[in-house]
Amino acid sequence: MRKILIYRQFFLVCITYAGTILFASLSASSNFSSMLYAFLASTAQTALLVLPLYLLYQLVQPGKDPTINPFFMLSLSLFFFTTLLLLAINYKLNAMYGFFINGFVINLLTTPGGVEAMGASESFYKSATILLLIALTLYALVIRFIPFEKLMPHTVNKKKIAAILISAFLAQGSMHAIADFKSNISILSVGNRIVWNIPITAKSFLAKLGLERARTLDTEFGKRPSGAFKYPNKESLDLHINQPYNIVWLVAESWRADMLNPKVMPATDEFARHNIRFTQHHSSGNGTRMGIFGQFYGLYGRYWFDALNSRQSPLLLDILQYNDYQKMAYTSARFAYPEFDKTVFSQFKNSELQEYYAGQGWQRDRKNVTDLLNYVESAKTPFFAFMFFESAHAKYHFPKESIIEKDYLEDFDYLTTDIAKNIQQIKNRYLNASRHLDQQLARVFEGLKKNGQLENTIVIVTGDHGEEFMEKGHWGHNSTFVEEQIRVPLIIHIPKSAPKIINKVTSHIDIPATVLSLLKVNIKPETYGFGINLLAENYNRDFIVVSDWHGDAVITSSVKYILSPQAASNSGGQLTNSIDKPLDESKLSTLDRRIFGQYVKSLAKFY
């Protein structure tokens, strides 16, 4: 009887997983291809999820000896039940926040104050206990009295089943790869509803086959489907601009805050002295993807994935387009990676995106600055111009005329160079590259001044993220949330505004709210993001959020809660103080715990 009960549990888990995943995925399907994908992906994902249970079942399947030990029977039953419980929790979490259990959730639960911040109280634990007991009772009754074993044939061709499952996995993987390449949102939306789905992509391979990559949505009816990501509906907002300034938006790769000084970057430092300079500014990410995303959307980096899947452009740029701004964006890298052509600039025409990546970073910047200046000189007003500079990107190349530190590493080979031993000479390369960045920014400032365009143009100058040189144990970026990797300069020129230095802690997430306020757009910042107008008299932040690919860091005036598993591992823990030293949980103040609770409550705002 014990073996029969184990069989019933295994069968119950299989049909529950298959039914739940299929129902969830079909609810997001809108046409035949997405329905087909739903069936294939649900089949493949169910097989992957129950594979460990199948291996356990094979140890004790009916007809095999020895007799099952009662303790093993109980342990196995609890394991089966827990898998169903996790499935239910996953879909409840997805319904509330738009994501499944991942490293971020695990870190949130293990971070001091995390559970309390999510609203767990004594009554919550009581309710959870009662629901758990009810679920256990129902589970026991189902496996005791429903003869699932009669639903299956006595003999099963395992080879055929394995072939079917492998075929389903390959087919759904191919469909997803093509859908991602062609921006077929009907299939991508289904994939987002499958718990722990493995999104397979093949951009380079499909491009080599001659397929044309799509940037905008490919939907059957030409409409953006509804989903978990609830970005504001433009049709319900007043998009009119009452102060149509031109906008020049300049972002430099790997530009850390302390580079903005008279020795390294004299021209940019001088420009900052005559405008508004933010001395405690932080990027929204420790990498390019999140660092660019936050400054245009005003959202936490975790929303990047939602914006990408829905091809959602930022409201800020949508408003410019609505008001007939002439637009042009330049990059000395590529718009396709990270996928800014499918997110930030997804509404730009191909002719409005110029990517130039021949030669070294400084050479690309020179070419793009020349083209940018030609554009702003001839553009009709109002216009928007964006440029992404590569001069300061590793390996930090520069021309001879930009050398300010002669003791630099001439041959910087990633494979053979001892980074720790040569770190100062590597940093000297960065200083020289930053001087070249300064020279190119100076060309833009001079061009705008010469043409008289500073009188009616907002100019934003910042970096996508910082760059560390082993000050806290790492080189580069994307590894931790130390100040060297997340602090960047921010300078804003506003026509007819007096110079000012702002020493408050600020964030990239605040830039959209600031720009739309300057344009006198009648939309409250909380409608479309988490940002605050940087120029408001009462500006103040209890915390900022910085993100990487794996999660967030919540930063208060005294503590950093590191919720990215990778960054926490690289930092030696989930808690550090404001200068990146490990912090003991007992040192957390009541205020910090309360602030962390505010962050947790904000997560569901746009789901």
pLDDT in tens, 180-237: 787 777 787 787 788 878 778 887 788 778 777 666 554 443 344 445 788 998 888 9
> Which bin fits 215, alpha (ψ -120 to 50), beta or left (φ > 0)?
alpha
Q: Return phi, psi of residue 285, to 5°.
A: -160, 165
CA-CA distance, 267 to 240, in Å (whole number)?
Answer: 36
pLDDT band at 112; cut points 50, 70, 90: low
Q: Closest by alpha carbon to 531, among 303, 320, 228, 250?
A: 303
At 35, is the secondary structure helix, strand, or coil?
helix
Chain segment 510-564, per-residue pLDDT in tens: 999 999 999 999 999 999 999 999 999 999 999 999 999 888 999 999 999 998 8
pLDDT score at 457: 98
pLDDT score at 223: 44
pLDDT score at 117: 53
C-alpha 233 chain-centroid distance: 21
The average pLDDT across 588-604 equals 88
pLDDT score at 412: 87
The average pLDDT across 19-42 equals 86
Of the candidate ranges 107-116, 300-309, 337-346, the one whose mean pLDDT is the lowest: 107-116
At 195, is the secondary structure helix, strand, or coil?
coil
pLDDT band at 264; cut points 50, 70, 90: very high
pLDDT score at 108: 64
- As a whole-number percent, the residues of the chain with pLDDT over 70 amount to 89
> Long-range contact list for 401-404, CB < 8 A, 24+ apart?
402/362, 402/432, 402/433, 402/435, 402/436, 402/439, 403/432, 403/435, 404/263, 404/264, 404/431, 404/432, 404/435
CA-CA distance, 263 to 22, in Å (whole number)?
Answer: 62
Query: What's the token pair of residue 78?
Result: 């609890």
Q: Cβ contacts of residue 71 below 8 Å, gap of 6+?
A: none
pLDDT score at 68: 62
- As a whole-number percent, the residues of the chain with pLDDT over 90 amount to 53
Per-residue HEC secondary structure of 268-293 comes to: HHHHHHCCEEEEEEECCECCHHHHHH
CA torsion through residues 580, 584, 590, 594, sign: positive
The average pLDDT across 354-368 equals 95
pLDDT score at 13: 85
pLDDT score at 586: 81
CA-CA distance, 272 to 281, in Å (whole number)?
Answer: 14
Q: Cβ contacts of residue 537 below 8 Å, gap of 6+?
A: none
Query: What's the token pair of residue 506?
Result: 């600020």
Per-residue HEC secondary structure of 334-388 comes to: CCCCCCHHHCCCCCCCHHHEEECCCCCHHHHHHHHHHHHHHHHHHCCCCEEEEEE
pLDDT score at 116: 57
CA-CA distance, 568 to 44, in Å (whole number)?
Answer: 33
CB contact at 8 A, 362 and 397: yes
pLDDT band at 313; cut points 50, 70, 90: very high
* CATH code, 243-538: 3.40.720.10
Q: Closest by alpha carbon to 183, among 27, 48, 30, 342?
A: 342
Q: Return phi, psi of residue 343, to 5°.
A: -130, -90
Q: Is a pLDDT exceeding 70 seen at residue 404?
A: yes
Q: Is a pLDDT exceeding 80 seen at residue 415?
A: no
Of the candidate ranges 54-68, 391-405, 445-459, the one whose mean pLDDT is the lowest: 54-68
Q: How crowded is residue 316: how many other Cβ atoms within 10 Å of its Cβ?
A: 23
> Bridge-partner residues for 476, per DSSP?
468
pLDDT score at 226: 43
The strands making up 457-463's β-sheet, listed across from edge to edge, are 353-355, 326-331, 383-389, 246-252, 457-463, 490-493, 276-282, 500-507
> Bridge-partner residues for 281, per DSSP?
506
pLDDT band at 490; cut points 50, 70, 90: very high
The DSSP 8-state label assigned to residue 415 in this structure reads T
Chain segment 230-262, per-residue pLDDT in tens: 899 888 899 999 999 999 999 999 999 999 999
Per-chain mean pLDDT for the chain: 88
CB contact at 8 A, 350 and 293: no
Indicate the domain borders of the chain: 2-208, 243-538
